[in-house]
């Protein structure tokens, strides 16, 4: 079936709206974590334990999300998951006990992951309309929404808004987005046929894609959690510049996602994944071997560029699986990838405690090299 340009553009805008919604809700929650920590009188160790509720919900829902998308299609799942995600957000601001926060975070994680799998399945559908890779731009919109959510949070905190008031505003906007955009989502998922199994053993290519995602998301998670610490303890810049490394990483990651689709179309997914691995490893090595402000900033810029398009391109490739439906294939790859994102940063902490941060960052650089090797071994259609 052929689509005219206006129709496919409408579909792309609708899917983009869901990515924006997801990034806005998550960053809004993250911006108020200190307020909720203070409200519930949690020390850092207790907060760390409580925050595990979100990844627990995420991991629990991974097989469920794939099954729901394969069974009912990504459009109704994306709609319901977005509403669940949005409605749970104000509840996070209204909690009065630790168990309530854990329960709400578990539901928030489940909703967020079901939204992630279903909207990425929608993104794969729009790629088939365009006949080229456009996945990275969607993830770029998620990053922009993250910046927007952080900025809105900063503004509302300065105005004295309580977390639940802030979250109600974001939730209302999110529900409005769902009501307007859900009707324009693709009704029939791409590459989904009735004879495809809902549950099946992933083939070698999918496993390789999962390993690539795993390595990249360890690098990404490490930069989120440890880049500021690395600058503070190793680079030791003036206090006002401690966050410069994290800012450089985030800026290059966000901008890289808007270039990733064009580069993948021009050079191919395999080439871009190999280049991404090289950039990640090279950037980390520069920051390790030359622990000074300017080289470290340059290194973190390279790392951001390196990780920017890996997960979007892996998702795009997984969605073309001939063995599994797009939703199930995405869930399989996401399961492996998120293990790196969730458990990588704590492992880095243990290694840093046993040796030092430069050693732990060196091990992450090795994972960048693994991306190069695995991409070379993976077959892309």
Residues 147 and 208 in one domain: no
What is the spatial distance between Cα 216 and Cα 202, in angstroms, rounded to a whole number?
A: 20
- For 106, the token pair is 């578990």
Residues 224 and 257 in one domain: yes
Residue 249 has pLDDT above 80, yes or no: yes
Residues 165 and 252 in one domain: no
- For 203, the token pair is 């083939």
Residues 179 and 312 in one domain: no
Domain with 365 in it: 204-377
Residues 259 and 373 in one domain: yes
Residues 155 and 25 in one domain: yes
- For 230, the token pair is 């690395």
Percent of the chain with pLDDT over 90: 50
CATH number for 131: 1.20.1250.20
Segment 13-24 shows an average pLDDT of 95
What is the spatial distance between Cα 336 and Cα 224, in angstroms, rounded to a whole number?
A: 19
Residue 19 has pLDDT above 70, yes or no: yes
In terms of DSSP H, where are the helices of 95-203? Answer: 98-130, 135-158, 163-181
Residues 161 and 272 in one domain: no
Residue 200 pLDDT: 55
Q: What is the mean pLDDT of the chain?
A: 88
**Where a domain ends, among 151, 184, 217?**
184
Residue 74 has pLDDT above 70, yes or no: yes
Residues 10 and 128 in one domain: yes
What is the spatial distance between Cα 353 and Cα 359, in angstroms, rounded to a whole number?
A: 10
Residue 2 pLDDT: 46
The Cα-based distances of 172 to 83, 99, 165, 185, 350 in angstroms read 10, 25, 11, 20, 41
Number of H helices, E strands in the chain: 15, 0
Residue 199 has pLDDT above 60, yes or no: no
Residue 108 has pLDDT above 50, yes or no: yes
| Total structural domains within the chain | 2
Minimum mean pLDDT among 79-93, 106-120, 137-151, 319-333: which range? 319-333
Residues 50 and 115 in one domain: yes
Give pLDDT tens digits for 262-305: 999 899 999 999 999 999 999 999 999 999 999 999 999 999 99
DSSP codes joined into one string, 208-273: HHHHHHHHHHHHHHHHHHHHHHHIIIII---GGGTTHHHHHHHHHHHHHHHHHHHHHHHH-HHHHH
- For 102, the token pair is 């854990």
């Amino acid at each position: 079936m052929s689509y005219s340009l206006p129709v496919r553009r409408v579909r792309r805008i609708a899917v983009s709206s869901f990515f924006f919604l997801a990034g806005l809700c998550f960053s809004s929650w993250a911006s108020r974590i200190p307020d909720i920590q203070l409200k519930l009188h949690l020390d850092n160790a207790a907060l760390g334990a409580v925050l595990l509720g979100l990844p627990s919900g995420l991991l629990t829902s991974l097989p469920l999300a794939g099954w729901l998308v394969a069974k009912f299609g990504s459009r109704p799942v994306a709609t319901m998951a977005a509403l669940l995600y949005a409605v749970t957000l104000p509840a996070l601001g209204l909690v009065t006990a630790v168990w309530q926060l854990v329960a709400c975070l578990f539901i928030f994680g489940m909703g967020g992951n079901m939204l992630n799998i279903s909207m990425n399945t929608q993104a794969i559908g729009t790629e088939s309309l365009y006949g080229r890779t456009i996945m990275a731009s969607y993830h770029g919109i998620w990053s922009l929404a993250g910046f927007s959510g952080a900025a809105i949070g900063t503004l509302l905190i300065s105005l004295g808004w309580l977390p639940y008031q802030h979250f109600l505003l974001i939730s209302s906007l999110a529900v409005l987005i769902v009501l307007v955009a859900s009707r324009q989502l693709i009704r029939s998922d791409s590459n989904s046929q009735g004879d495809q199994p809902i549950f099946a053993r992933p083939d070698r290519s999918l496993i390789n894609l999962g390993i690539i995602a795993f390595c990249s998301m360890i690098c990404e998670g490490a930069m989120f959690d440890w880049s500021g610490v690395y600058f503070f303890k190793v680079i030791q810049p003036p206090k006002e510049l401690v966050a410069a490394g994290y800012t450089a990483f985030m800026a290059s990651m966000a901008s890289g996602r808007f270039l990733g689709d064009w580069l993948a179309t021009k050079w191919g997914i395999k080439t871009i994944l190999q280049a991404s691995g090289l950039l990640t490893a090279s950037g980390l090595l520069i920051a390790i071997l030359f622990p000074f402000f300017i080289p470290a900033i340059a290194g973190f810029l390279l790392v951001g560029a390196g990780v920017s398009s890996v997960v979007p391109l892996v998702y795009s490739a997984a969605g073309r699986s001939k063995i599994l439906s797009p939703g199930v294939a995405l869930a399989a790859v996401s399961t492996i990838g998120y293990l790196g994102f969730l458990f990588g940063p704590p492992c880095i902490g243990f290694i840093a405690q046993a040796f030092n941060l430069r050693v732990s960052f060196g091990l992450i650089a090795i994972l960048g090299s693994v991306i190069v090797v695995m991409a070379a071994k993976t077959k892309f259609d």
